[in-house]
Amino acid sequence: MKSLKFALLFAPVLLVSACGGGSDLEDRLDVADPKVRFVHAASGSPNVTLSRNDAVQSDATNVPYKVASGYYDVETGVANWRLRTSASATPANVDLATVSIDARRGNRYNLVAVPSGTGAGTGVALLSIRDPYNKSLVSDRARIRVVNAAPNTTGAVDLYLTQNDTNINTATPNIANVGVRQAVPSDSNDSQEIQGANYRIRLTTTGSKTVIFNSSVTLDNNTDWLLVTVPDQLLVPNSIKVLAVRVGSDNKAQPTIELSSN
């Protein structure tokens, strides 16, 4: 796959454009600088600031809950990423979590702040997800990944994206078995591609057909989506919302969509 990508790098620009290559072309060819996106999905936590080797990241400074950055370029190589409460938070400048990332060309990294425990006032963990971004040059489909940041779910969850009248009793989950503080597809795996369209989104506990979340969402093509489960009523088991975090092929942040269950 990689050799094919590099061969296509030298194809005429007009051909590449016709095949759907946009501003993410260099990512698809694995020649772009590594990119990082930060998402604050730790419900009930204060504003936070992210740093790389102690250099504060301007795209992730004083970030409140539900806000996400776009993808921004970073240098290749190993670096320590530290999450702290922001200078304006109470308490201020408290270390929350640290992860080490070996950033590689053509790869995208999602750093997601999630609750580290199960109760109110819990700490914050930093979930690191490497996306190899092996998206075909001819694909314009949406890419999705599910993160479970809802510690009040009673176990892992399954995601169904269907037409409105589809009976999930005879359907297979699009994404299955997403545990708390986990992502599916998991670290170092590509996001799942799906045709952009209007979907009914339903979540169940894994292996069950009992719906704990039911809403609708429009997934745009040529867009990276993180569908993040978060608590609605923290003390109520399986009472959840979904944050639809999106970045287009221009890598710029778009407002997070908060979906409530019908």
Q: How far apart are the first and last CA of the chain?
A: 43
Q: What percent of the chain has pLDDT over 70?
A: 90
Is the separation of the CB atoms in 49 and 62 below 8 Å? yes
- Share above pLDDT 90 across residues of the chain, in percent, rounded to a whole number: 82
pLDDT at 35 (0 to 100)? 96
Q: Is the pLDDT of residue 3 over 70?
A: no
| Closest to 114 (Cα-Cα) out of 83, 73, 89 | 83
Of 17-31, 83-97, 141-155, 217-231, the least confident: 17-31
Q: What is the CA 169 to chain-centroid distance, rounded?
A: 27
Q: What is the mean pLDDT of the chain?
A: 91
Say what the pLDDT of residue 94 is. 95
- What pLDDT was estimated at residue 5? 46
Q: Is 60 exceeded by the pLDDT of residue 13?
A: no
Per-residue pLDDT at 30: 81
Mean pLDDT for the stretch of residues 23-30: 80
pLDDT band per the 50, 70, 90 thresholds, residue 14: very low
Higher pLDDT, 5 or 212: 212
Structural tokens at position 25: 């072309």
The pTM is what?
0.90
Distance CA 173, CA 207 (A): 9
118 pLDDT band (50/70/90 cuts)?
A: confident
How sure is the predictor about 26, in pLDDT bands with cuts at 50, 70 and 90? confident
b/e map of 220-236 (b: 16 or more CB within 10 Å)?
A: ebbbbbbbbbbbbebee
Amino acid type, 21: G
**What is the average per-residue pLDDT within 170-193?**
97
Exposed / middle / buried, residue 18 (Cβ in 10 Å: 0-12, 13-18, 19+): exposed
**216-246, pLDDT tens digit by residue?**
999 999 999 999 999 999 999 999 999 999 9
Do the Cβ atoms of 204 and 174 come closer than 8 Å?
no
Cα–Cα distance for residue pair 142/165, rounded to 1 Å: 22
Q: What are phi and psi for residue 123, nearest 5 degrees?
A: -80, -170
pLDDT of residue 86: 95
| Residue linked to tokens 């994404």 | 175
Helix (H) or strand (E) holding 25: helix 25-28
Q: Are strands 108-115 and 35-40 parallel, antiparallel or unpaired?
A: parallel
* Pair 34, 107: CB distance under 8 Å: yes
Residue keyed to tokens 């971004």: 133
Min mean pLDDT across 25-29, 62-66, 206-210 is at: 25-29
Over residues 145-171, the pLDDT tens digits come to 999 999 999 999 999 999 999 999 999
How confident is residue 119, by pLDDT bands cut at 50, 70 and 90?
low
DSSP output for 178-208: E-TT-EES-TTSPPEEE--EEEEEEEEETT-
